[in-house]
Structure 1
Amino acid sequence: MASELLTNRKGKGTAIVTRLKKFAFGMKGNDGLLYKLFIYGLLIGIGFVYLFPLLYMISYSLKSLDDILNPLVNWIPTQVYLDNYESAYKVLKFLPTLAESLYVTVIPAIVQTAVCAVIGYGFARFEFPFKKTMFVLVLATFVIPPQVTVIPRYVFFNELGILGSIQSFLFPALLGQGINSAIFILIFYQFFKMMPKALEEAAQLDGAGYLRIFFTLALPMAAPAIIISFLFSFVWYWNETYLAAIYFGNSLTTLPLELQKFVATYQQMYPQSGDTSEINEGINMAGTVMTILPMLVVYAITQRWFVEGVDRSGIAGE
């Protein structure tokens, strides 16, 4: 009897320990409590790092000067103060500048996506002399920083007479040398390389040519790559200020370019006091929020397709 009782107690103790381990660490694919706490804590920490600047900007953009100077007011302003946005709207000349920003961003992004799709399809589905060498050279252009080639490009564009116009962005995009075009060529190359050859052979038996195969078979299958390429192109052209300032000069402008000279423009528009304290952190933050707002709207609209495209393309980030 004693041995049976001891065995039962050991069995119960083992079962309790097993249940505790399962509850804490999980078993056979079930996530335990400690594992979930670690994952959720990690995600919350990463999310806070990314969201903190955005929350800070929004909070300060809604504060009046009194709230900014009041040490008792931290995150939540005493009132919603929209005059900061009114001032930033006038300084940025928001609507005309937004129209120019979309003009020099959307069109080059569309052109770059289309050209990279054609180049990636050519590398993936055709054999021609020096193919590997040319592909390596295309990828090598991603390694070379644009600052290295900006002077010869500037001289070349000046001789062509395309400085101060959108053509200085369109011309490289048409030749597969837009902003980070090599990355998009590689993405399309991977997609088209995975396309079964049996589909092409069946289409050729039905009398379809290479162009028809490209437009009716290849492009629909590469929809995730198209979404990824366009969105990344859009963001990179939007955020490009170095090349835009050099190539466009005073002929064209964008919201990021206007944000760079925000303080100087504000002081020119409101010179009555001659005091730099006239522009406060709230107005600066309002201008920053208005500059990134179009990006947030685009991402909110295309979030579902963007996430699906990243998942299907296997892109980890740039």
Structure 2
Amino acid sequence: MEKTKRQLFTNYYIKMKRMILGMQGTDGILFKLLIYGLLVGIGFVYIYPLIYMGSYSFKSLDDLLNPLVNWIPTQLYLENYKRAYEVLNFIPTLLETLYVAAIPAVAQTAVGAVVGYGLARFDFKGKKVIFILVLATFIIPPQVTLIPRYIFFNELNILGSLNAFLLPAAFGQGLNSAIFILIFYQFFRMVPKALEEAAQIDGAGHFRIFFTIALPMAVPGIIISFLFSFVWYWNETYLAAIYFGDSLTTLPLQLQKFVATYQQMFPAEMGLSGNKLNEGIKMAGTLLSILPLLIVYFITQRWFVEGVDRSGITGE
């Protein structure tokens, strides 16, 4: 009887242990709770600013001054977005931002694909040196080359135009171009050489192989390279302010001047608080400036995740 009870207790203990810790310690309830708790915590850290901005952007001045109103506004106040829309001059600035970000991103992605394919498929003298130079362009801080580039661009008379971004991107020297070259290098190395050899037997040249075999298999790499490049050009304010001056502007640049522009457009009068800039209007302007990027990400999320998975990018 005692042996039977002991056996039952042992079996129960083993079942509970397997349920909590799992078969290998990585599939039990305890492990899953730890992982999910960690993911929820990290996710909250990232999503908290968006929740904060979304909540405050719909608050009226009365809600902002009311200590009892914390997260949920008493009403859906859209006047903040109307003011922010006017201050940002949203539609013209959005079109100009797309112009500044999309064209260099396309050029940078195309050049990265060509250079990455060449490094992955051809052996030639100086290949290692080119690899070192490609990595050096990423390792060296852009502040080191800022003054020489500015002087060079001034001599070429391309300051104040998109060429200040487009020409470096077209020659593989855009924003973090080395990353995209390495992404395509990794993708094209995974393409089976047997496919290219079969195409060569059928009489296909290197250009035809590149466009008909290599590129279609590197679509996730193209998408992720374009998205990263597009976002980096979109968010670049330091170089854009130096190279473009007052000739071109972007939403992030307009957001930097948001307070000064608002005070100029809506001067506060004595005794009147309706025109004063508050936290709700600032948050509405910030959300409007990042809204296009959020829409692009939601549309391309599946391809973005697939590209990150296949390229092995972490933390970029």
TM-score (norm 1): 0.96
- AA in 1 matched with 2:99: Y
Aligned twin of 2:308: 310
Structure-2 separation of matches of 1:127 and 1:51: 46
Aligned twin of 1:147: 143
Aligned twin of 1:242: 238
Structure-2 separation of matches of 1:20 and 1:311: 35
Aligned twin of 1:22: 18
Aligned twin of 1:294: 292
Q: Does the 8 Å contact 2:108/2:229 carry over to 1?
A: yes
Shift of 1:192: 1.2
Aligned twin of 1:123: 119
Q: 1:106 aligns with which of 102, 106, 109?
A: 102
- AA in 1 matched with 2:287: V
Change (3 A) 1:93 1:221: same
Change (3 A) 1:30 1:259: closer
2:48 is equivalent to residue 52 of structure 1: yes
Q: 2:160 aligns with which of 143, 164, 189?
A: 164
Q: In the TM superposition, what are the counterparts of 1:88-99 in structure 2 within 5 Å? A: 88-99=84-95
Q: In the TM superposition, what are the counterparts of 1:167-316 in structure 2 within 5 Å? A: 167-273=163-269, 278-316=276-314
Structure-1 separation of matches of 2:35 and 2:25: 15
Aligned twin of 2:131: 135
Name segments (4+ residues, structure 1) moved above 3 Å.
274-277
Structure-1 separation of matches of 2:203 and 2:29: 60
Structure-2 separation of matches of 1:289 and 1:118: 36
Structure-2 separation of matches of 1:146 and 1:261: 24
- AA in 2 matched with 1:226: I
> Could you list the per-position Cα deviations for residues 25-76 of structure 1 after superposition, in whole angstroms to 9, with x for gaps in the alignment?
1225883222222121111101110010000001000000110011100000
- AA in 2 matched with 1:197: K
Report the more deviating stretch, 290-299 or 122-131. 122-131
- AA in 1 matched with 2:92: P
Aligned twin of 2:81: 85
Q: Does the 8 Å contact 2:57/2:281 carry over to 1?
A: yes
Shift of 1:6: 2.2
Identity level (%): 71
- AA in 2 matched with 1:313: S
Structure-2 separation of matches of 1:109 and 1:59: 33
Structure-2 separation of matches of 1:272 and 1:195: 63
- AA in 1 matched with 2:191: M
- AA in 1 matched with 2:19: F
Structure-2 separation of matches of 1:317 and 1:310: 10
Q: Does the 8 Å contact 2:268/2:276 carry over to 1?
A: no
Structure-1 separation of matches of 2:203 and 2:98: 41
| Ranges in structure 1 where 5+ consecutive residues have no aligned partner | none
- AA in 2 matched with 1:307: V
2:60 is equivalent to residue 64 of structure 1: yes
TM-score (norm 2): 0.96
- AA in 2 matched with 1:161: N
Q: Does the 8 Å contact 2:25/2:31 carry over to 1?
A: no
Structure-2 separation of matches of 1:257 and 1:77: 29
| Ranges in structure 2 where 5+ consecutive residues have no aligned partner | none
RMSD, aligned α-carbons = 1.5
Report the more deviating stretch, 165-174 or 6-15. 6-15
> Could you list the per-position Cα deviations for residues 131-151 of structure 1 after superposition, in whole angstroms to 9, with x for gaps in the alignment?
101111111100111111111
- AA in 1 matched with 2:144: V
Structure-2 separation of matches of 1:229 and 1:64: 41
- How many pairs does the alignment contain? 314
2:105 is equivalent to residue 75 of structure 1: no
Structure-1 separation of matches of 2:287 and 2:145: 32
